[in-house]
Amino acid sequence: MARMTHSSGQGSRWRAALALVIVSLSLHGAPLAEANVHTVFTTECGTYFTWQALGMVYSHKKSGQPGKITRLLSCTDEQWEAYPDKDLVPTHRVRPRSPSSQNA
């Protein structure tokens, strides 16, 4: 019984958060379909991920998804220098977390 109450409470919070987002978007005067949306996806440095990024950007444009799209490219300094496809799609480079900071 306590489990059902917990689930109901979680569902209520999600519904309230979604309603808040919808209200916030409509207060800005844009219909939901034309809202200011920015799609962001993450990748690593590598050929496989370059192909994935190309597919993602193509699908974004082909589907008519509104707004910008940006790839978060996680590369070490050495990988970044050697990476040939930096400007292939809209990209923001991020440095991977060091192993010691992941335990903190």
37-94 confidence digits (pLDDT tens): 899 999 999 889 999 999 999 999 999 888 899 999 999 999 999 999 888 999 999 9
DSSP string, the chain: -HHHHHHHHHHHHHHHHHHHHHHHHHHTT--GGGS--EEEEEEESSHHHHHHHHHHHHHHHHHT--SEEEEEEE--HHHHHH-S-TTSS-EEEEPPPPHHHHT-
